[in-house]
């Protein structure tokens, strides 16, 4: 199985990394966050169906699942599994209006990770 990290998910990772690095002056946390995302995606590659299903009205995201980022449980990885590909759609803080954000997701603007 391979992981595809969509551009918006990559932006989510980078935005959080910068927030820890610049806003919080916490470079250790910034790098730990990136490593935790990578470890969580690797875990999902081994057991892709372990994430909880997330029901949305957006037909482009039928079958969407979510899984917390290891050691950063307030951040959720939203992903789809199709064949041998795990597509990371977004990585969002759980307190954001996730339904509204995901309602806008569509297309296949993927990059292989």
Residue ranges of domains in the chain: 2-103
d(CA 30, CA 22): 9
Fold (CATH) for 2-103? YaeB-like fold (3.30.2310)
Report H helices in the chain.
Answer: 7-18, 27-46, 98-103
Q: pTM for the whole thing?
A: 0.91
- How far from the centroid of its chain's Cα atoms is residue 18's Cα? 16
Q: What is the pLDDT along the chain (113 residues), one digit of tens a residue?
A: 999 999 999 999 999 999 999 999 999 999 999 999 999 999 999 999 999 999 888 888 999 999 999 999 999 999 999 999 999 999 999 999 998 899 888 645 544 44
Classify the C-alpha dihedral 71-73-74-79 as positive or negative.
positive
């Amino acid at each position: 199985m391979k992981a595809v990290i969509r551009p918006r998910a990559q932006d989510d990772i980078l935005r959080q990394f910068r927030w820890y690095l610049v806003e919080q002056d916490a470079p250790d946390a910034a790098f730990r966050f990136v490593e935790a995302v990578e470890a969580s995606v690797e875990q999902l590659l081994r057991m892709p169906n372990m994430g909880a299903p997330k029901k949305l009205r957006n037909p482009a995201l039928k079958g969407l699942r979510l899984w917390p980022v290891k050691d950063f449980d307030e951040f959720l990885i939203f992903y789809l599994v199709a064949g041998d590909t795990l597509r990371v759609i977004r990585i969002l803080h759980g307190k954001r209006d996730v339904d509204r954000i995901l309602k806008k997701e569509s297309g296949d603007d993927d990059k292989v990770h």
